[in-house]
Amino acid sequence: MFVQQLYTNCLSEAAYYIESNGEAAVIDPLRDVEEYINLANERGATIKYIFETHFHADFVSGHLDLGKKTNAPIVYGPNTITQFPVHVAKDGEQFKVGELTIEVLHTPGHTLESSCYLLKDENGRDYAVFTGDTLFVGDVGRPDLAQGGDITTEDLAGMLYDSLQKKIISLADNVIVYPAHGPGSACGKNLGPDTYSTIGDEKQTNYALKAHNKEEFIKAVTDGLATPPQYFSVNARINKEGYNSLDEVLNKGMKALSVEEFKIAMKKDDTIVLDTRKSSVFTEGFVPSAISIGLDGRYAEWAGSLLPFNKPFLLVTDEGKEEESIIRLARVGFDKMEGYLKGGFDAWKKAGEKIDMIINVEADELAMDIPHDDNLLVIDVRKEVEFADGHVKNALNLPLNEMTDPAMMANFEETQNLYVHCAGGYRSIIACSLLKRQGIHNIRNIVGGWNKIKEQEGKIKTEKETSVLN
């Protein structure tokens, strides 16, 4: 028996490869499927099944491309309706992979079709359960993603309680828990730091499994749920209805454009120029109106949260990072990449084209400027809870995930001097680029963000919002 977790940090996503006697199964593959095919080839195995735990909302699954390239059937749990051929398994149905057995456990709650897969070893003993978004390390899947119909968040939470009680908690304590996501995922409220666990550990430590009854469970898992990112509904629909192959997306996006060709393409209505270089490099110079979302952070998630899916994209990347930039966008459903700037930003500069910049200031400079500038406004783009836990006095909280509406950024006065920050610097550069794109240029980025501002204790007045924290 061979089991490997294939974890993608930037999406907090875990896919799984299971193998026995030359037969393999893949659970919850990403859209770029070559890793699974290569692993099977290296080990001399044939991918026999592709299992999906549910219609994922936070990434586009690779089930269709992997199925086409391997001829393996795609297996979903009960109540699944798709616009492409799949095997809709029955609750309790078993599949053989070499000497191993994979049993379907229908566990509605996160979604109606959500199912877990129980792996039994060569001797028929329960070895591991692949829980998708039903059970995480320290958390459970959010029950507020139902699309259409009369079903409510509370209805789904109640289903989730029943699923966990009847199908999961009853498993032996030593059964390994392999979830679809780890820390940082928006598919739960606050996932733990590890990417796998055991049934016994979760019963001891998972807040949701400690609820004494269904009512207590429903309250625990629904309280404090943040609004899901805008791309969740888009990705869920794509996974249900189908998509263009990644090869097609790459063929279109990997078109090298000269500076002149790039300028012509920029003139098309609503074209978005996306710069994927590190934020620290972006501030030093960029193509005017470009949006910064660096590959060095949670790139795909922020792209999906902030950018439209129906607009064409042009890319500015570090040389050699063009394909990675496209693949990681495709993972969350973007497929309208029209090409990239050949030679990157250096080619743009050498051609003598106009450039834009973002001024960086240190936290100690902010401390010196605050007392002497009546038009100074600190914009904190962290989440509301982060802001509440401590912020510059009189700062404006404008969470980055809410900066999708240009009208929200149209209320600043030309006389205001905007000092923008987040926790460490990644989000604030994205925010600055969005503001610049809306024609707001009197901006300074605070290097190191709140982490550095805190070091100016006594020089910069801060406060907390206890009402939010409580």
Classify domain 244-350 at the CATH superfamily level. Answer: Rhodanese-like domain (3.40.250.10)
Model pLDDT, residue 460: 95
Under a CB-based contact definition with an 8 Å cutoff, are residues 25 and 95 in contact?
yes
Model pLDDT, residue 125: 98
Model pLDDT, residue 190: 85
CATH fold, domain 2-233, is Metallo-beta-lactamase; Chain A (3.60.15)
What architecture is the 359-469 domain classified under in CATH?
A: 3-Layer(aba) Sandwich (3.40)
Residue 277: other Cβ atoms inside 10 A: 22
Tokens of 437: 């794109």
The CA distance from 399 to 462, in Å, is 18
Q: Which residues contact 108 (CB under 8 A, 6 or more apart)?
A: 79, 114, 156, 159, 160, 163
The CA distance from 442 to 444, in Å, is 7
Low-confidence ranges of the chain (pLDDT < 50): none
CATH 3.60.15.10 residue window(s) in the chain? 2-233
Model pLDDT, residue 465: 85
Provide the mean pLDDT of the chain.
95
pLDDT digits (tens, 9 = 90+) for 58-75: 999 999 999 999 999 999
Q: Compute CA 423 distance to the chain's CA centroid, rounded to the nearest angstrom.
A: 19
Buried b (16+ CB within 10 A) or exposed e, 213-237: eeeebbebbbeeeeebbebbebbbe
Which residue has 């005017």 as its token pair?
Answer: 288
Q: Which amino acid is at 140?
A: V
pLDDT digits (tens, 9 = 90+) for 336-349: 999 999 999 999 99
- Beta-ladder partners of 199: none
- Beta-ladder partners of 420: 379, 445
Residue 290: other Cβ atoms inside 10 A: 25
- Residue 17, phi then psi, degrees to nearest 5: -120, 125
pLDDT digits (tens, 9 = 90+) for 220-270: 999 988 889 989 999 999 999 999 999 999 999 999 999 999 999 999 888
pLDDT digits (tens, 9 = 90+) for 266-293: 998 889 999 999 999 999 999 999 999 9
Q: Report the length, in residues, of the chain.
A: 470
CATH 3.40.250.10 residue window(s) in the chain? 244-350, 359-469
